Amino acid sequence: MFAGAFILGCSNQSTKPETVETKESDVTNELVFENDLENALGGIPGWSNEKAVIKMPEGLTAHSGTFVTKIDEVNKYSYAFKEYFKNINERLPKEVVISGWVYSTDKNPKLSIVMDINQDNQTIFWKGYSLMDKPRELNSWFEFKTTFPIDQPIKPSNQIKVFAFNADKAAYFDDLKITFVF
Ligand SMILES: [Ca+2]
C-alpha cells in the first residue's frame, strides 16, 4: 500500500504530504518494548526482577547472546515488564501483544505468560496464556505470541506487569517483546 502511494506521489507532488501523514499515524498507533536480556542486569527502566536473569547454562544456547530469564519450581517468576500506564503513553492501550522465545527442559504443563493489571499492587484483572497447551518440542527454542485485549476499564495510575510463571522444571525465556496497541 505504501509503495503504491509512493509511486502516485512521484507523478503528482500534491499527494506526497498526505502519504507521509498516514504513515506516521500508523506508526504511533503502537509502542514496542523489546528486551534480549543481554543488558538486563544493568537495570532497564520498565523492567524488573533481575534476579531471574542468568547466563544460559553451559551446554545450552541462548536464543540471542548469552543471557536469558529462567524460572523453575523455586524461582517462580521471570524477569518482568512492569510499568505504570501513565509512563508508557498519554493514551491507554486497547490491547497488549506479547511475544518471545521459550525453551523448556520438561513438560511444564502449567507454564504461562501472565499480564497483571493492578492499582497499588491490588490486581484489577489479569490474563494468562498457556504455553504448553499443545505438544511442544522439549529442549529447543520455540516462539510464542499472544494478544491480550484490555477489555476492562483501566486508569493511567494502574500498573501493568508481564511475566512468565508456573514452571515445575526449568524453563528459559529470551527476546521478549511487548507491544502496546492504542
Ligand atoms: Ca538473550
C-alpha 61 to ligand 1 mean position (Å): 9
Query: What does the pLDDT read at residue 136?
Result: 85
- pLDDT score at 19: 44
> Is residue 181 a contact partner of residue 97, using CB atoms and an 8 Å limit?
yes
* Ligand 1 (single-atom ion) residues, CB below 5 Å: 36-37, 62, 64-65, 67, 174
Res 135: pLDDT: 81
Query: What pLDDT does residue 26 have?
Result: 56
What are the Cα distances from residue 103, in Å, to 3, 98, 136, 159, 166? 38, 16, 10, 28, 14
HSE, CB side, 13 Å, CA atoms: give it for residue 121.
0
Tell me, in angstroms, the distance from the centre of ligand 1 to residue 66's CA: 5
Please report the domains of the chain, with CATH numbers, ordered by start residue.
30-181 (2.60.120.260)
Quote the ligand 1 centre to 9 CA distance (angstroms): 42
What is the residue whose three cell numbers read 514496542?
Answer: 32
pLDDT at 27: 55
Alpha carbon of 64 to ligand 1 centroid (Å): 4
Report how far ligand 1's centroid is from the alpha carbon of 14 (Å): 46
Between the CA of 67 and the centroid of ligand 1 the distance, in Å, is 4
Rounded to an integer, what distance in angstroms lies between the CA atom of residue 80 and that of residue 84? Answer: 13
Rounded to the nearest whole angstrom, what is the distance from the C-alpha of residue 74 to the centroid of ligand 1? 22
Burial (CB < 10 A; 0-12, 13-18, 19+), residue 151, is: exposed
In which order are the strands placed within the sheet that holds 159-165? 47-48, 80-84, 159-165, 112-119, 122-130
Look up residue 47 and give its three cell numbers. 523492567
C-beta neighbour count of 134 within 10 angstroms: 6
Cα(44) to ligand 1 centroid in Å equals 14
Pairing of strands 171-181, 122-130: unpaired
Tell me the pLDDT of the chain (182 aa) as tens digits: 343 333 333 334 444 444 444 444 455 699 999 999 999 999 999 999 999 999 999 999 999 999 999 999 999 999 999 999 999 999 999 999 999 999 999 999 999 999 999 999 999 999 999 999 888 889 999 999 999 999 999 999 999 999 999 999 999 999 999 999 99
Residue 56 CA, ligand 1 centroid: distance in Å: 9
